[in-house]
A and B are shown apart, each in its own frame.
Chain A
Amino acid sequence: MEPAKILIVDDEEHIRLLFKEELEDDGYAVELASNGVEALEKFRGSQYDLVVLDIKMPGMDGIQALTEIKKINKDQPVILCSAYGEFKQDFASWASDGYIVKSADTRELKETIKRILAA
């Protein structure tokens, strides 16, 4: 069985690296993008089981990227993952499937991914 394919979008190189390695440890196939524009290019060229989007990014931010992705495929599962905790209450209104505050403890990220992929 093919591993689930996940696109991680974050402007911080080391965050991308950390999440990639953590998720690959769990057997996911991980691809990376450093901003919203790059993420959309990748998304148009390929299919992903899940997209993990940072919110605050230069160029196109995570919320804009989320809107564009949902325009292309409204059923595409997307998780917002941000240093900002204060938008947590609003994620549903942006049609995001989950919201995680970034943490060195990646358990919440992993559990959310698992829950969404299982659905």
Chain B
Amino acid sequence: MPHSIVKPQMSMDSVNILGKVIEISHSNLEIASRIEAILNMLAHDMRFEEAILYTLDKDKRLTCRFAARPSRLFENLNRYRCHVGEGVVGTVAQKRAPQFFTSRDVPPRFGCLFYANLDGLTDRFRVFSFLPLSDDSFIYGVLLLCSSSKDAILDSDKIILSIIAREMGGILRTYDLLLSSKKRISELATLSELGRVLTSSTEPHLLLQNIASISARSSNAAFITIKLDHSFIRLESQRFTFGEIDPAIETPLRELESECLRVRKATALADQPPGSAPEGPRFALYCAPILSRERTLGTITLCRKGEQHQLSIEEDDQYLVSAVANYISSGLETAFLNLKLRDVLKELGDAQKRVIEHEKLRSLGEMTANIAHEIRNPLVIIGGFTKRLAKQVQLDEKDNRYVEIIVGEVARLETILDEVLNYVKDVPLLLERCNLNVVLDEILYLLTPDKNWERVSVTKRYAQDLPSIVCDVNQIKQVFINIVLNALQAMAGTGTMVLRTEQVFRQGREFIAVSVSDTGGGIDPSALDNIFNPFFTTKEKGSGLGLPISNKIVMHHSGHIEVRNVAGEGVTFIVYLPLNNQRPTKEG
């Protein structure tokens, strides 16, 4: 008799079941719905009261995720995870071979199958099937089936179940691929958003705030905080956070940051550090250094909070934090170069403007001085002889009046010449040490008793401990009298004048900045370019020399004047005087 292979017979029912499974698995249902539909079918059509599916996570732990129907068994199993190789489920996953038991041949290690004494929940079942869900290369989970109505699993059923298990493995594989591609897409989206921020922001603080917010939102972290090292750069704030830092985490966070700065390597702190309050929040921190070529610029830390034990920072988060740290380092370098470039360009533009202004004033000054001198001699002659004439000739009242007019007008012209020459001449500075807060107070004392300014409110925002500077006090007083008077006149009796003094660092030098702000409606933008030109005035009785003289005096002191004009609101004049004027003092 020829050796014959006994093939188990497959019933029509089985073919129908397989047909349904294949239909479900290739349907366009959600992945979870496909799995649940197949589990339901196993429960109904194949009479397994419990159909439970374990999935494998990337830490090689098996967790039951799906069940045909809610059951106490599922709820109990759901609390535990088991590693590959552990218990029956773990062994099936490891060996990728199905196991079938009846209640008669349950092996002794079956007891540890469910990690607990579940006899009360499993007693009634007579057969148990454990099927690996795998394809040719990977295992994705394990299917557990329990039945109380079957005596044994037929060979034909075993084949059908294996086919179904393989089909479910395929679904889980698709699920896996879908999840990982979703994750990659979100990573790419995050990185591209970061890239966009890096190329669009030039302000370091905006850049950092945006980076913290993008990376915290994309990673769903409790918070992400970027801390810059003081020795690297001083911004208005050294910390940029998205999310809220729980007060209980502040101290461990700071300690972790200093440790990370010290070792220049990513450092993690998981769960509760020793010594912290046991009832405190559970958290995990991951801190990476922001490194440039030579130094450590700061740190970036991600925090996860949660209830579960052994909370830890997963590999994806670690990757994100390290990638963002690299982004920040290159982004900051670019941002600071941009800032520096912008400053240098502005400085260059300002310097050019000042040179042009200076040159304009110088040539204008020379011309004016020459004309003034040429005019003075004829004036003296006209006035002098008119007076002599009046002395020697007996004039009637009318003619006498004419003579007085001539003499008076000559005197007026002489005064104008004095003023013009006062503007163009370079008076040497009589330098002495003085405090600008005191100078401003003296000016206010001089100017404000005037009835015209009674309803102007004056706010003083003086820097305490303002260092004194070396300057020609009388000339500097003239500058501030001009500016303060302009402000008072602009406000026409009502408004607020703010005087502010502060020490500032600009273009590598220390300055005292004195600003005078008014609410007088600002300067007409078309007039703004001319306000420092001699003889330009918008006032009815102005000489047009107040601001040019002030500007000249400030320039002689190696300082400069800045105007911030808001048309319709007011104007701020800021006088910058160098803190360390190299010129000798009066005493020395």
**Chain A residues close to B by CB (< 8 Å):** 12, 14-15, 18, 21-22, 56, 83-86, 89, 101-106
* 0/1 string, B379-404, CB within 8 A of A gives 1: 11111111110000000000000000
Contact of B380 among A21, A56, A104 (CB under 8 A): A104
30 A-B residue contacts at CB 8 Å?
A15-B380, A18-B384, A21-B388, A22-B384, A22-B388, A56-B373, A83-B372, A83-B376, A83-B377, A83-B380, A84-B421, A85-B418, A85-B422, A86-B421, A86-B427, A89-B427, A89-B428, A101-B418, A102-B377, A103-B383, A104-B380, A104-B382, A104-B383, A104-B384, A104-B387, A104-B410, A104-B411, A104-B414, A105-B387, A106-B384
Q: What residue of chain A has the Cβ atom nearest to residue B414's Cβ?
A: A103
A71 to B422 Cα, complex, angstroms: 33
CB contacts (< 8 Å) of A22 on chain B: these are 384, 388
Contact assessment for B425 and A86 in the assembled complex, using a CB-CB cutoff below 8 Å:
yes
CB contacts (< 8 Å) of A106 on chain B: these are 384
CB contacts (< 8 Å) of A14 on chain B: these are 381, 385
B160 to chain A, nearest CB (A): 115
A11 to chain B, nearest CB (A): 9
Q: How large is the interface on B (under 10, 10 to 19, 20 to 34, 35 or more residues)?
A: 20 to 34
Asked if B440 CB lies within 8 Å of chain A CBs, one says: no
B108 to chain A, nearest CB (A): 116
Within 8 A of A (CB), among B348-385: 372-373, 376-377, 379-385
Q: What residue of chain B has the Cβ atom nearest to residue A106's Cβ?
A: B384
B494 to chain A, nearest CB (A): 40
CB contacts (< 8 Å) of B379 on chain A: these are 104
Contact assessment for A102 and B376 in the assembled complex, using a CB-CB cutoff below 8 Å:
yes
Q: What residue of chain B has the Cβ atom nearest to residue A85's Cβ?
A: B421
B438 to chain A, nearest CB (A): 26
Given A84-B373, A103-B383, A104-B379, 5 extra CB contacts under 8 A:
A18-B384, A83-B372, A83-B380, A104-B386, A105-B383
Asked if B303 CB lies within 8 Å of chain A CBs, one says: no
The list of the 4 closest CB pairs from A to B, nearest first, reads A104-B383, A83-B376, A86-B425, A18-B384
Asked if B407 CB lies within 8 Å of chain A CBs, one says: yes
CB contacts (< 8 Å) of A18 on chain B: these are 380-381, 384-385, 388
CB contacts (< 8 Å) of B427 on chain A: these are 86, 89
B197 to chain A, nearest CB (A): 60
CB contacts (< 8 Å) of B421 on chain A: these are 84-86
CB contacts (< 8 Å) of A84 on chain B: these are 373, 421
A73 to B379 Cα, complex, angstroms: 34
Contact assessment for A12 and B388 in the assembled complex, using a CB-CB cutoff below 8 Å:
no
Contact of A103 among B372, B380, B386, B422 (CB under 8 A): B380
B150 to chain A, nearest CB (A): 121
CB contacts (< 8 Å) of A12 on chain B: these are 377, 381
A86 to B383 Cα, complex, angstroms: 22
A24 to B376 Cα, complex, angstroms: 23
A101 to B422 Cα, complex, angstroms: 13
Q: What residue of chain A has the Cβ atom nearest to residue B373's Cβ?
A: A83
A16 to B373 Cα, complex, angstroms: 17
Most chain A beta carbons < 10 A, residue from B380, B385, B426: B380
CB contacts (< 8 Å) of A21 on chain B: these are 388
Q: What residue of chain B has the Cβ atom nearest to residue A14's Cβ?
A: B381
A105 to B387 Cα, complex, angstroms: 9
A66 to B572 Cα, complex, angstroms: 50
CB contacts (< 8 Å) of B377 on chain A: these are 12, 15, 83, 102
CB contacts (< 8 Å) of A85 on chain B: these are 418, 421-422, 425
CB contacts (< 8 Å) of B418 on chain A: these are 85, 101
* 0/1 string, B396-437, CB within 8 A of A gives 1: 000000000001001100100010011001111000000000
CB contacts (< 8 Å) of A102 on chain B: these are 376-377, 380
Most chain B beta carbons < 10 A, residue from A12, A89, A102, A104: A104
Contact assessment for A105 and B388 in the assembled complex, using a CB-CB cutoff below 8 Å:
no
A32 to chain B, nearest CB (A): 15
B223 to chain A, nearest CB (A): 68
A56 to B372 Cα, complex, angstroms: 14
A70 to B381 Cα, complex, angstroms: 29
A56 to B376 Cα, complex, angstroms: 13
Q: What residue of chain B has the Cβ atom nearest to residue A102's Cβ?
A: B380
A85 to B407 Cα, complex, angstroms: 21
CB contacts (< 8 Å) of A89 on chain B: these are 427-428
A89 to B385 Cα, complex, angstroms: 29
A12 to B374 Cα, complex, angstroms: 11
Q: What residue of chain B has the Cβ atom nearest to residue A54's Cβ?
A: B377
A56 to B377 Cα, complex, angstroms: 11
Most chain B beta carbons < 10 A, residue from A12, A56, A86: A86
A101 to B415 Cα, complex, angstroms: 12
A77 to B364 Cα, complex, angstroms: 37
A84 to B418 Cα, complex, angstroms: 9
A86 to chain B, nearest CB (A): 4
Q: What residue of chain A has the Cβ atom nearest to residue B375's Cβ?
A: A83
A111 to chain B, nearest CB (A): 16
A85 to B422 Cα, complex, angstroms: 8
A21 to B391 Cα, complex, angstroms: 12
Q: What residue of chain A has the Cβ atom nearest to residue B387's Cβ?
A: A104
A46 to B275 Cα, complex, angstroms: 108
A103 to B384 Cα, complex, angstroms: 8
A111 to B382 Cα, complex, angstroms: 21
Q: What residue of chain B has the Cβ atom nearest to residue A86's Cβ?
A: B425
